[in-house]
């Protein structure tokens, strides 16, 4: 077991250049399971769709109360409180929404698939210059697949909807292409609230957020950390991303999250990572699973479509078509070929259809470890012994 952290207040992560992976975040000291590695506010936060603006506060994306405060400028968005109304929402988005109380924007973006990138662009072009530049320093996703809304049309829609004097210097088709690539490669979904009994497959994003530091997490199909959001919690920081360690991590080890639900099959993971993130995954799990015999039914090689919202990361993905069984037999020839079965049992939520990731709650202030795991998608709390009877705390060190 890794030595417990000597000074838990010291920053747990540092940025490193990692061969073949660009920048990444590595443990700056030994960290313990459940430890909060990062808690960060978004540089950019934008609604997923126009419909989301009817249910969620345009500033903080909490669920709206029964009598929300309408935006005094556009009248199309609403706020949950006077302080959110004072904070307001992105200027270009507000201006675009004021065309016929949102009718202009709805006409330019009739479907959710067009609304998401257009709402992103209107919000990104409203950012102050240093924040826009910080966004542009993030990694670039590969070009979108054929059939995706093309950047030129989106650029023209922004130009038509935004008052020219509000557009930033540098507004250009090239900048629009660059921004869209940052969004695709780096945004995190903030999900609708989960209510017991609802189908998790139908859960949608209420908003998307880009976090400068959290955008530096690389992917691993057996991650050692996962992220949480708590958008409806009271007080400030409700849209902060919180990243916790799944288990002990030794100083110098890279800290990775999974960019989608961890139960996806090998072929679907590889396809998604190549198409949307531009790399072939060579993590330990992929190396094992690449040796499994190809079986159309079991190993996802039959072209099953794994649909999901662009930019959506880790949890909340509509991954039902690409699932491994979770019992460890997804195309493997025997138990030895599935060394990560323990990971599935311990860290994957067992609520039907959820496949969120379970991380231990943070250690108590006295350093005592929690034996309760929390799902980052449905919020389920599970005692460790309920997952693996007879187990104490984890001895895993990675
Ligand atoms: C969200 S960014 C992560 C930070 C990024 N490495 C950087 O330098 O800014 C996603 C990009 O990181 C790279 N990446 C992430 N995980 C990787 C992995 N397991 N192997 C190789 N490259 C990876 C890919 O280029 C991907 O598009």
**Judgement on whether residues 225 and 185 belong to the same structural domain of the protein:** no
Reported as a single tens digit per residue, the pLDDT across 307-316 is 333 334 443 3
Write the CATH number for 352: 2.170.270.10
| 180, 204, 228 - which closes a domain | 204
Helix (H/G/I), strand (E/B), else coil: 207: strand
Examine the domain organization and report whether 289 and 335 are in the same domain. Answer: yes
Q: For the segment 165-224, what is each residue's pLDDT rounded down to a tens digit?
A: 999 999 999 999 999 999 999 999 999 888 777 777 778 999 999 999 999 999 999 999
For a mutational test of ligand 1's pocket, the pick from 277, 284, 286, 314, i.e. the residue with the most ligand atoms closer than 8 A to its C-beta, is: 277
Mean pLDDT, the chain, rounded, equals 86
Strand order of the sheet with strand 36-40? Answer: 36-40, 241-245, 225-228
Q: Which residue's CA is the closest to the ligand 1 atom numbered 9?
A: 139
What's the CA-to-centroid distance between 172 and ligand 1, angstroms? 27
What are the pocket residues of ligand 1 if the criterion is a CB atom closer than 6 Å to any ligand atom? 20-24, 138-139, 141, 185-186, 215-216, 218-220, 277-279, 281
Quick one: pLDDT at residue 102? 81
Residue 199 and residue 267 in one domain: no
Model pLDDT, residue 268: 96
Residue 130 dihedral angles phi and psi, to the nearest 5°: -60, -35
Q: Which amino acid residue places its CA nearest to atom 7 of ligand 1?
A: 23
pLDDT in tens, 326-379: 444 444 555 566 778 899 999 999 988 888 999 999 999 888 999 999 999 999
Question: pLDDT value at position 174?
Answer: 97
Nearest to 57 by CA among 84, 75, 91: 84
Tell me how many domains the chain contains: 2
Q: Compute the half-sphere exposure of residue 154: CA atoms within 13 Å on the CB side of its CA.
A: 25
Nearest CA owner, ligand 1 atom 22? 21
For 48-93, write each residue's pLDDT tens digit.
999 999 999 999 999 999 999 999 999 999 999 999 999 999 999 9
**Residues facing 255 on adjacent strands:** 25
The pLDDT of residue 9: 52
User: What is the average pLDDT across 267-295?
Assistant: 92
d(CA 102, CA 108): 10
Tell me if 229 is assigned to some domain.
Answer: yes
Are 157 and 268 part of one and the same domain? Answer: no
Most informative mutation of 23, 139, 223, 283 for ligand 1 (most atoms within 8 A of CB): 139
- Residue to mutate, 19, 21, 314, ligand 1, most ligand atoms under 8 Å from C-beta: 21
Instruction: Please tell me whether residues 243 and 342 are part of one structural domain.
Output: yes
pLDDT tens profile 242-277: 999 999 999 999 999 999 999 999 999 999 999 999
CA of 259 to the centre of ligand 1 (A): 10
Residues 238, 172 share a domain: no
Instruction: Note the ipTM here.
Output: 1.00
Instruction: With a cut of 60, say whether residue 282 has pLDDT above it.
Output: yes
| Whole-prediction pTM | 0.88
């Amino acid at each position: 077991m890794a030595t417990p952290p000597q000074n838990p207040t010291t920053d747990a992560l540092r940025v490193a250049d990692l061969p073949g992976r660009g920048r990444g975040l590595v443990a700056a000291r030994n960290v313990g399971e459940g430890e909060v590695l990062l808690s960060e506010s978004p540089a950019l936060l934008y609604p997923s769709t126009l419909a989301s603006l009817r249910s969620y506060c345009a500033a903080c994306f909490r669920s709206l109360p029964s009598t929300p405060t309408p935006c005094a400028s556009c009248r199309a968005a609403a706020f949950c409180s006077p302080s959110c109304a004072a904070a307001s929402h992105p200027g270009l988005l507000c201006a675009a929404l004021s065309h016929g109380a949102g009718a202009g924007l709805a006409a330019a973006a009739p479907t959710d698939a067009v609304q998401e990138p257009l709402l992103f662009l209107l919000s990104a072009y409203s950012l102050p210059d240093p924040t826009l530049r910080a966004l542009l320093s993030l990694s670039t996703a590969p070009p979108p697949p054929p059939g995706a809304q093309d950047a030129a049309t989106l650029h023209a829609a922004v130009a038509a909807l935004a008052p020219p004097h509000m557009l930033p210097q540098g507004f250009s088709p090239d900048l629009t292409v660059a921004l869209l690539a940052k969004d695709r490669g780096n945004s995190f979904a903030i999900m609708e609230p989960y209510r017991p009994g609802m189908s998790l497959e139908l859960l949608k994003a209420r908003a998307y957020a880009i976090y400068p530091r959290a955008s530096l997490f690389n992917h691993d199909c057996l991650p050692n950390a996962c992220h949480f959001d708590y958008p409806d919690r009271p007080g400030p920081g409700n849209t902060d991303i919180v990243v916790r360690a799944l288990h002990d991590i030794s100083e110098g080890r890279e800290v990775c999250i999974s960019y989608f639900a961890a139960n996806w099959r090998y072929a679907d993971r590889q396809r998604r990572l190549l198409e949307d993130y531009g790399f072939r995954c060579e993590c330990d799990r992929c190396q094992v699973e690449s040796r499994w015999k190809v079986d159309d039914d079991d190993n996802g090689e039959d072209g099953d479509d794994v649909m999901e919202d662009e930019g959506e990361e880790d949890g909340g993905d509509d991954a039902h078509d690409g699932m491994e069984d979770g019992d460890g037999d997804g195309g493997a020839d025997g138990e030895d070929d599935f060394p990560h079965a323990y990971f599935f049992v311990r860290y994957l939520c067992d609520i039907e259809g959820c496949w969120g990731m379970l991380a231990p709650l943070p250690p108590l202030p006295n350093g005592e470890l929690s034996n309760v795991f929390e799902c980052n998608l449905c919020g389920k709390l599970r005692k460790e012994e309920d997952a693996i009877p007879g187990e104490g705390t984890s001895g895993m060190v990675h």
